[in-house]
Structure 1
Amino acid sequence: MLRFFQSYFPYQYVSLLGLLLLIRLPLLLHPFPLLIPELNWMIVGEQISQGNLLYRDIWDSISPLSALVYWGIDSVFGRSPLALHGAALLVSVFQIVYFNYLTNNRDLYPDRSFWPGLIYMLFMHISFDCLTLSPVLMSTSFLLLAFGTLIRQMDRRGATDEVFEVGFYIGIAALFYLPSALFIIWAALSLLFYTGASFRQYSLSIFGFLFPFATTVLFYYLYDSLDDFNRNLLSSVFRVRQYSLSDFQSLLASLLIPLGLGVLGFLSLLNRGGRYVNFQQRIQQIMAIWFVIAVLTIGLMPFLAPMVFLSFVPPMAYFTHFYFEGIRRAWLAEVTFLITFILILLLFYQGALGLIPGGELGRLSSLQVKPSPLPGDIKDRRVLIIGEDFSAYRQNKLATPYLNWDLAKYDLKNLDDYEAVINVFDHFRKDPPDYIIDRENVVGKLFQRAPALAGQYEKTAVADVYKRK
């Protein structure tokens, strides 16, 4: 396979994308599990379609541009996991083609080939959850655009005013996935060490980064929702953990091969540094900084799953190329790559299709939507879930703004505060749920504090479920 993609001809893009479709084709014939984050994103898009304002009327920590994309998808397709996967495929194609284009047209490696695109494509299949349209996937596209602009600056004698684009792309990336804002550190260090940027050009880059944020802040200021924006997005990144993932074995198994090959590729450079020109050595250092910044984003991730590590793919793919390039015997490189290819895809298909009966490795069971506690005939009703369990939303709609439990705690876990009780009462009055699923045992205290609500609901035969009279 490496030998086939070693030639650099335009028609190889067709072969590369054909291989991408071939890998994903079995999943079209056998649908894979719906994940809690996917359901969360579809609910956000649905709520915005109904005229609700993110952060004010929808309490969730999703970044605003990602929410707009989910709104657009819901407006056209409704709640459709297939639409999320189709859109993710288009984004993946862009990233693979653009990464391969950059590495070859900017001469990031000594020789031109389709290996960069091939390795990038393979690493996008470390787990089946990477196939959905996640905020990290969309954000990484703009980080790649920032990288492309940055190396264009390095290829010149000095930085130009185009450094504004670098900051702007990172700002857009952060509005898709807020932890990506840390990559402004990557851009600043790269401009400092590897370009002749002046103070004015640094300022342009920072202004480009802040401009999308300033526009968003202005929007929420005009809608008198700046406090909601700050609480549900800016402040939440340091403390909101939306979902619990106990399947660390699957996470480590998914990342082991890409990280291992990336590290081996980086180490192989230490023995062959003289082969590369100064420009290529600077690119290697910039990619190393990218990896370090990506590691720093782990502390800001809202949950742990392979999909949120997609920002690691560019540096891992970049350095892995050097590992295979450094294997002197062509047959050994070919065999090593085929083994890598097979192992990654085996874990990928095991997670998506459950090839091994009873095997849980790669399945991400804790992120899958569980069966609803509500009877199966209850559909399209307004539901409030107090807790992290999203299962009842699969066939029903969200009532009240309390989507994200970590954010809902501001009110629902603070019922000794009079203002919190008033907020909850107002939300119930404006959008009363038909059913309340109380996984955190707060309804009893809520009904004590707001007797008017207690008279509107009654317990059902299902534990912790209340029905509106």
Structure 2
Amino acid sequence: MGLEESTILNSSYLLGSALNENPGAIISNSISAGPLYVFFYGLLTFLFNSSMLVSVVVSAILVFIQALIFNSTLQKNGAFEENTYLPGILYVLILSSNQEFLFLSPALMANTFLLLATDKILVHLKFRGSEENILTTGFLLGLGALCYAPYFIFLIFAIVIYIIYSGTLVRRYFLMTYGFVFSFLIFWIYYLYFGNGGAFLGDYFSDLFQINEMDSGVINELLLIFGLPLFLSVLSGAQNFQGVGLINHQILIQRMMLWMLIFALVILRLDNQLTLLTAETIIIPLTFFSTQFLLTRGKRWVAEIVFFLLVVSSVTFLFTP
């Protein structure tokens, strides 16, 4: 699909325009965009109209910020034996492997909040974080779900991680859920002012858990684009699952990323329609495991060849129509 034909760009522009025409209206859509994404794109549409360049520039800025957040989070938590900028580089590289990824999308915007929440979760697992940390985690996950509706499932992800890997008090699960709900409460009050509070909730949750149809063409394209990072992730997971040579917190990070990958795969079925952009969630755990694979190679030339293949494949797919 060419840049000028981007479905996500056209759909986002229509959502932003509809919001600007009627700020209190509930706007249903086919790209699983939440109200926060609609509001943000409405602002872009108001300021810059339908400029393709604006979508690309904002997307590039977000990807750069996300790469910094992800890299900083892994460094701060000692995820690998050495401090490296490789996770951030791979994150940008994988997110540059298709023309559609160049545009701002609900999943891409939601990734920002998921990465910030991931940092909070890892801090809690390592230091048994404060109640403020728990509340903020829920709020960030809520903001992610308000950008991209299927991200609602990451509240369950956080609860699962805390249940399995931490001794979190029961009341803190309710506190995190409150933080999550509070983000929705802000938008509910906004729509309630226009008399659409109930319609907002009904529209958001009506299609949330409907299973989409699997398009074989999209599946094949996903496997082609993400094939190498997915293969590296499988190898890395198989080789390092026992945690040999890793400290306890590194093992926790690895297992949390595995859970994130599982939930990200579930999201592929929860979007209104399966597209390449649905898979932007998978890029976070794929980046982690690909980085782990490259850093644990005993022979550096093997890692260098694999990294070169990742660069070549990314560039090739980006410029292939």
TM-score where L is the length of structure 1: 0.64
Q: Which residue number in structure 2 is paired with residue 391 of structure 1?
A: none
Q: Which residue number in structure 2 is paired with residue 160 of structure 1?
A: 130
Q: Which residue number in structure 2 is paired with residue 118 of structure 1?
A: 89
Q: Measure, in 1, the Cα distance between the counterparts of 2:55 and 2:183.
A: 25
Determine helix, strand or coil for the equivalent of 1:33: helix
Q: Measure, in 1, the Cα distance between the counterparts of 2:192 and 2:156.
A: 27
2:301 pairs, out of 331, 343, 347, with 331
Asked if structure 2 preserves the Cα contact closer than 8 Å seen for 1:159 and 1:195, the reply is no
Q: Which residues in structure 2 correspond to 1:342-381 (within 5 Å)?
A: 342-351=312-321
For residues 241 and 276 of structure 1, do their structure 2 counterparts lie closer, same or farther at Cα, with a shift above 3 Å needed?
closer
1:101 pairs, out of 65, 72, 76, with 72
Q: Which residue number in structure 2 is paired with residue 212 of structure 1?
A: 183
Q: Which has the higher contact order (CA 8 A, sep 6+)?
A: 2
Q: Which residue number in structure 2 is paired with residue 321 of structure 1?
A: 291
Q: Which residue number in structure 2 is paired with residue 192 of structure 1?
A: 163
Q: Which residue number in structure 2 is paired with residue 84 of structure 1?
A: 55
Q: Measure, in 2, the Cα distance between the counterparts of 1:51 and 1:238.
A: 28
Asked if structure 2 preserves the Cα contact closer than 8 Å seen for 1:146 and 1:166, the reply is yes
Q: Which residues in structure 2 correspond to 1:395-410 (within 5 Å)?
A: none
Q: Measure, in 1, the Cα distance between the counterparts of 2:167 and 2:292.
A: 28
1:294 pairs, out of 248, 254, 264, with 264
Determine helix, strand or coil for the equivalent of 2:282: helix
Q: Measure, in 1, the Cα distance between the counterparts of 2:222 and 2:291.
A: 23
Q: Measure, in 1, the Cα distance between the counterparts of 2:96 and 2:70.
A: 16
Spell out, residue by residue over 1:144-202, the C-alpha distance to the aligned partner (whole angstroms, 9 max, x if none). Answer: 0000111111221x332111111111000000001001011111112222223212222
Q: Measure, in 2, the Cα distance between the counterparts of 1:285 and 1:140.
A: 19
Q: CA RMSD in A?
A: 2.1
1:263 pairs, out of 226, 234, 248, with 234
Asked if structure 1 preserves the Cα contact closer than 8 Å seen for 2:12 and 2:38, the reply is yes
Q: Which residues in structure 2 correspond to 1:34-45 (within 5 Å)?
A: 34-45=5-16
Asked if structure 1 preserves the Cα contact closer than 8 Å seen for 2:134 and 2:175, the reply is yes
Q: Measure, in 2, the Cα distance between the counterparts of 1:203 and 1:233.
A: 22
Q: Measure, in 2, the Cα distance between the counterparts of 1:145 and 1:289.
A: 17
Q: Measure, in 1, the Cα distance between the counterparts of 2:313 and 2:60.
A: 22
Spell out, residue by residue over 1:327-382, the C-alpha distance to the aligned partner (whole angstroms, 9 max, x if none). Answer: 2111121112112220222012113xxxxxxxxxxxxxxxxxxxxxxxxxxxxxxx
Determine helix, strand or coil for the equivalent of 2:17: helix
Shift of 1:285: 1.1
Spell out, residue by residue over 1:445-464, the C-alpha distance to the aligned partner (whole angstroms, 9 max, x if none). Answer: xxxxxxxxxxxxxxxxxxxx
Shift of 1:242: 11
For residues 212 and 270 of structure 1, do their structure 2 counterparts lie closer, same or farther at Cα, with a shift above 3 Å needed?
closer
Q: Measure, in 2, the Cα distance between the counterparts of 1:242 and 1:64.
A: 24
What letter corresponds to residue 151 of structure 1 in structure 2? L
Shift of 1:248: 3.9
What letter corresponds to residue 224 of structure 2 in structure 1? A
Q: Measure, in 1, the Cα distance between the counterparts of 2:10 and 2:199.
A: 23
Q: Specify the structure having the higher radius of gyration (Cα).
A: 1
TM-score where L is the length of structure 2: 0.92
Asked if structure 2 preserves the Cα contact closer than 8 Å seen for 1:245 and 1:303, the reply is no
For residues 59 and 302 of structure 1, do their structure 2 counterparts lie closer, same or farther at Cα, with a shift above 3 Å needed?
closer
2:98 pairs, out of 119, 124, 127, with 127
Shift of 1:52: 4.3
For residues 174 and 262 of structure 1, do their structure 2 counterparts lie closer, same or farther at Cα, with a shift above 3 Å needed?
same
Unmatched tracts of structure 2, length 5 or more: none
Asked if 1:203 is matched to 2:174, the reply is yes
Count of residues paired in the alignment: 317
1:64 pairs, out of 28, 31, 35, with 35
